[in-house]
Amino acid sequence: MHNQSVNDLGKQFGVWMPRLFILVSFSALLFGLWALIHAYNGNDWPRVRGTIIYSRMVGPTGKASVQIRYNYAVGNQTHKGQHVSFADAFHIRMFGIESIISRYPKGTRVWVYFDPENPQKAVLEKGIRPELYWTPIGAFIILILGIFFHTRFKPKHGGRRGSP
């Protein structure tokens, strides 16, 4: 009896895990493609001068991140930004927290690239960086694996319990 329930659990795991891989990887693929498109469209954004309000490391060592805030004005409206690039998370890992903080110390005058249709969206460094490709490529690979395992471990006999 115990072996049968463990076997059933294993079958359910084999059915649901690939579906979960497919769902998560498809979502990550869509997000990655959205980020790439957003970065591509940002290449045409105009720029204005801004000032770094603060730049600091936050969080425990090993899991630290960067907080950067800057002010900039578009027309008569002042805005606050916080993004270094379209690939902030990858950018931080790639170049290091100290490198980013040293490039943007408090009080520094910087160029801020903003979305002309929504000036509240802004970055300090525009363009498509190589690290932006990692999410959609990785998600696509996991999606293919999920589809492979889903078809490999598909329940026999229509997946009905008790089928001969």
The answer to whether position 110 is within a domain reads: yes
Tell me the per-residue pLDDT of 146-161, one tens digit each, with 9 for 90 and over: 888 777 766 665 555 4
The DSSP output letter for 82 is -
Which residues share a beta bridge with 47? 113
- Within this chain, do residues 146 and 113 fall inside the same structural domain, yes or no? no
Four-residue CA torsion sign, 89, 129, 113, 53: positive
Two structure tokens written together for 161: 């319990």
Q: What is the tally of structural domains in the chain? A: 2
Q: Which of 24, 12, 31, 30 is CA-nearest to residue 142?
A: 24
Q: Which residues of the chain have pLDDT under 70?
A: 1-15, 61-64, 88-95, 153-164
The answer to whether position 48 is within a domain reads: yes
The answer to whether position 132 is within a domain reads: no
| pLDDT at site 113 | 96
The answer to whether position 150 is within a domain reads: yes
Q: Which domain holds residue 89?
A: 44-126
Query: CB–CB of 59/66 below 8 Å?
Result: no
Instruction: Kindly report the pTM of this predicted structure.
Output: 0.64
